[in-house]
Structure 1
Amino acid sequence: MMKRLQVLADMVPSGLVTADIGTDHAWLPVLLVKQHKAEKVYACDIRKGPLHQAAANIVTNHMKKEITLVLSNGFANVPQDAQCAVIAGMGVHTIISILDADADRTAQFAILITEANDDPIAMRQWIAAKGYRITDERVVSENRHDYTAIAFVPAKTEVHYSQSDLVLGPILSQHPDEEYTAYLKRRTHKLHHILSLRKDESADTKKLQVEASIIDAFLQDTNNKQQKAGA
């Protein structure tokens, strides 16, 4: 979990009042304060149980002045001075439901960071459809699970993302590192396995076929470039 949390902490801009939505034990708020990324953090959760656990962690780390607990369903009770929101460790549909529940409040943040444990394509599609611009992306693999963290901001001008951008990530695909390439290989292997079991021509099957073909072409192109560079 520490690796995943560090990726999120690295993506949070320094000095912004940050709200961690679904904070659980408040590990991220504690990390942000400890690493001097934020002097004020809201640890938010919809349930009292996690907030009790978060309170204990905050006291242990002597951060009661810097971290404030907030009982909140999504953004409902998040104070207005929060400039950055982080929603991590959830399924993409849960994340999107939180963002959609109060669209006006969502748009007020200077930056939003999501880290879904599934379907980054759906997350990027939502970002594009709602008029945001992706500014950073990271892939992190932990405990045999893949997470895609995406940072985005309100777009000042219209942004167009191609199908390849939505599948591969407009930032990730520009600088493919070993972890990202390994993730794509795992993803395309899974896709081809699923498609080998399907005999239908449904819209969902065609969507998976498009995703697989885009990833396969990207991996082949990346491999060709690496071979030329090493020649």
Structure 2
Amino acid sequence: MMEQDWKSLGLDARLAWVASQVRSDVCVIDVGTDHARLPIALVQSGKTQQAIAADVAKQPLQQAQIHIAAANLSAQISTILSDGLAQIKLPEQADITICGMGGDTIVRMMQAQASLKQAGVRLILQPQTEIAALRQYLAQQGFEVEAETILAAEGRIYQALVVQFTGRPYSLSLMEAELGSINLAQRSEVLLQYVRKRQAVVKKWQQAKFKAGQDAAWETEFILLYQQILQSS
């Protein structure tokens, strides 16, 4: 589907990209589903016939059930109260979407579910924080990044990526962990906008440490790396 079609189904640019990466006709498991907007849109679009909407809290899950029923999709979208994937038995073919959570939370969920390391399972992740730590974990565990993006939506900049287990660990540079190898290669205007903002923030941290007589080696290194990205664009 085109992005404008996803918009008509209630998805912003962030979730539209996530939806566009879902494979056709596989079970979709939306972890932290909140109002179930993503699984509802995916089933309404015809991209998938079966989905699971999961959340750790009862109230969001109840809201999801209301929205699913209102869309007449209760037969196709089931709801599960679950901390991450703890209560979910993964099918052989599944796309798991985890959006709007911290990267450290996503790592914890992945560590608790060994069945993610099977050929037919892909994860579509949109971490809000700790993105570098998440990418480092994926690299160490042998989850290959098949696709990724950095995009603007609702006045914010988001990163999202699609990963699948290969069992082949790899290493990342500091900037590859923070921004993604594919994003760095594509050098979109959104990426450069994000780098400029991050550079300004880190410069403030650097100056504050200088004034306090503290070591600012980490900040200085990142400022130089950001500058290299901007100069080579």
When the two structures are superposed, what TM-score results if normalisation uses the length of structure 1?
Answer: 0.86
The 1-side partners of 2:22 and 2:44 are apart by 13
The 2-side partners of 1:4 and 1:98 are apart by 21
Structure 1 segments of 4 or more deviating over 4 A?
none
Asked whether the equivalents of residues 148 and 182 of structure 2 are also in contact (C-alpha less than 8 Å), the reply is: yes
1:138 equivalent in alignment to 2:136: no
C-alpha displacement of 1:100 = 1.5
Moved more, 26-35 or 133-142: 133-142
> In structure 1, what is the equivalent of residue 52 of structure 2?
42
The 5-angstrom pairing of residues 166-205 of structure 1 reads 166-199=177-210, 200-201=214-215, 205=216
The 2-side partners of 1:13 and 1:171 are apart by 20
Match of 2:67 among 57, 60, 85: 57
The 1-side partners of 2:222 and 2:138 are apart by 18
Q: Structure 1: which amino acid aligns with 2:63?
A: Q
Alignment gaps of 5+ in structure 1? 223-231
> In structure 1, what is the equivalent of residue 34 of structure 2?
24
C-alpha displacement of 1:37 = 2.2
Structure 1 residues 211 and 134: alpha-carbon distance in aligned structure 2, compared to 1, 3 A threshold: farther
The 5-angstrom pairing of residues 143-154 of structure 1 reads 143-154=154-165
Q: How many residues align?
A: 218
Asked whether the equivalents of residues 206 and 219 of structure 2 are also in contact (C-alpha less than 8 Å), the reply is: yes
The 5-angstrom pairing of residues 85-124 of structure 1 reads 85-102=96-113, 104-108=114-118, 110-124=121-135
The 2-side partners of 1:46 and 1:85 are apart by 15
Alignment gaps of 5+ in structure 2? 1-10
Deviation readout 1:21-66 (Å, 9 max, x if unpaired): 0100001101111222221111001111111100111111121122
Match of 1:70 among 80, 93, 112: 80
Asked whether the equivalents of residues 118 and 147 of structure 1 are also in contact (C-alpha less than 8 Å), the reply is: no
- Report the aligned-residue RMSD: 1.9
Structure 1 residues 16 and 211: alpha-carbon distance in aligned structure 2, compared to 1, 3 A threshold: farther
* Identity value in percent: 26
Match of 1:208 among 203, 212, 219: 219
> In structure 1, what is the equivalent of residue 22 of structure 2?
12
Structure 1 residues 57 and 183: alpha-carbon distance in aligned structure 2, compared to 1, 3 A threshold: same
C-alpha displacement of 1:155 = 2.1
Match of 2:176 among 165, 168, 189: 165
